Amino acid sequence: MSALDPFAFLAAGARVQIECEAERALPFVIDSTWQSGSRIWCHPAIEGDTVSFLAEQRVLDLYIADPEGPLKVPILRARASDSEIGIATTNSVCFKVLPGTIRVQRRQYFRMKKPPILVGVRSPAIDDPIATFVQTQTHDVGAGGVSFIGEEFKLNVGECIDLVLDLPDATKIPTRGEILRTNVLVGDELLVAIRFTQIRERDRDRIMAVIFREQTRRLRVGR
């Protein structure tokens, strides 16, 4: 994938996520940018100890939501003089934008463990469009796929199955996916990992909106 100009996408007011060494994606809002100095200033999107937490971590990347797919921008913490800050707010954090911005594939979206999303599964052995979906607990989910507790299902790698994702607002997302792994033991749970093969783009966006809101809520309550 060829590198992109990050300042074609970075703009004041844009909401971004900053990924840290601790495998946390923190929501931030861009205050201002200084392209000639390859710097941006951001403030936390929610109240709390985000900035103090970030100060103790090595920053890895910044992610920008984009209709054509998310953008990954390599960044690092930076110092800047007062004359460079411009319209940045007092609680802004300065970052140096590094070369290497890319548009990542859907499967590289953030995945959330224990999301507030349930999944209904219909066995591939049942060739009946009105057959009942068996609901099970979701282990993690992203825009590119889902894994769920699959002890009660007899599924094989390579098979395609029908799924229904139940979002917190009662929206139901029908999708179809290919089984990538089965009988994956995580702790005491046997999981099945699925890659979405048929899903509407607006439904991907709905999944990512749920993930973003839940990440924000968990940061707010310190989970």
What value does the mean pLDDT take over residues 122-145? 75
Radius of gyration of the chain (CA): 20
Residue 112 contacts by C-beta under 8 Å, 6 or more apart in sequence?
A: 140, 141, 142, 211, 214, 215
Band (171; pLDDT cuts 50, 70, 90)? confident
- Sequence ranges of the chain with CATH classification 2.30.110: 6-104
Summarised one tens digit per residue, pLDDT across range 34-79 is: 898 899 999 888 766 667 777 777 888 898 877 666 788 999 988 8
Could you please state the CATH topology (level 3) that the domain comprising 112-221 is classified under: Thrombin, subunit H (2.40.10)
**Contact between residue 43 and residue 27 where contact means Cβ atoms under 8 Å apart:** no
Residue 99 contacts by C-beta under 8 Å, 6 or more apart in sequence?
A: 3, 74
**Rounded Cα distance, 193 and 177, in Å:** 9
Strand partners, 120: 135, 164
* Residue matched to tokens 């920053």: 59
Could you please state the CATH topology (level 3) that the domain comprising 6-104 is classified under: Pnp Oxidase; Chain A (2.30.110)
Summarised one tens digit per residue, pLDDT across range 94-118 is: 999 999 898 765 444 567 788 888 8
Q: What is the sign of the dihedral through the CA atoms of 152, 156, 160 and 165?
A: positive
